[in-house]
Amino acid sequence: MQVAVSLPGITAEAASAACTAAVAFAAARGWKINVAVVDRGGNLMAFLRQPGAYIHSIDIAIDKAYTSASFGFPTKAWMGAIGHDDGMKFGFSNQPRLIVFGGGLPVPGEGGEWIGGIGVSGASESEDEACARAGLAAIGLA
């Protein structure tokens, strides 16, 4: 007997539209960003870089999306989750690709599940998160 398993996911079109909207939001404010959208498994679905955005922020944007997709909550929430536990702070800071500051958000799906992550880097922490939220809003997931 075969059992079909269907996993919800973000489409390439939605990922691209979210990136485009985040860049438009940033451009309207004079910010230069990199933005990435990944699926639930952390696989890159879409990426955009504005001319003049920081080169190092390319990987940071991708890793913010990856971190949010991995855990299903905003990257900014990590410091609150860790609290004053120094062991966790040092342990998590040594994990590759784990970002613990703002700019990464999970991409929500149906029924409270998340289907990916969006990450923005290049502006301030709060500006990055605002761009990510604009990307989600553009595809009806804010």
Report how far apart, in Å, the C-alpha atoms of 28 and of each of 49, 86, 88, 107, 131 are: 15, 40, 39, 23, 11
The helix/strand/coil state of 113 is coil
Report how far apart, in Å, the C-alpha atoms of 14 and of each of 17, 94, 105 are: 5, 32, 15
Report how far apart, in Å, the C-alpha atoms of 95 and of each of 36, 63, 64, 89 are: 20, 11, 13, 10
Query: Quick one: pLDDT band at residue 6, thresholds 50, 70, 90?
Result: low
Paired tokens of 54: 């920081």
* Prediction pTM value: 0.91
Contacts of 112 (CB under 8 A, 6+ apart): none
Contact 96, 87 (CB under 8 A): no
Contact 31, 123 (CB under 8 A): yes
Condensed to tens digits (0 to 9), the pLDDT of residues 41-78 reads: 999 999 999 999 999 999 999 999 999 999 999 999 98
Condensed to tens digits (0 to 9), the pLDDT of residues 93-123 reads: 778 899 989 999 999 988 878 999 999 999 9
Report how far apart, in Å, the C-alpha atoms of 108 and of each of 102, 114, 123 are: 17, 4, 23
Q: What is the DSSP letter of 75?
A: G
Q: How far apart are CA 77 and CA 130, in angstroms?
A: 15
Cα angle, residue 39 at apex, residues 110 and 51 outer, rounded to 5°: 120
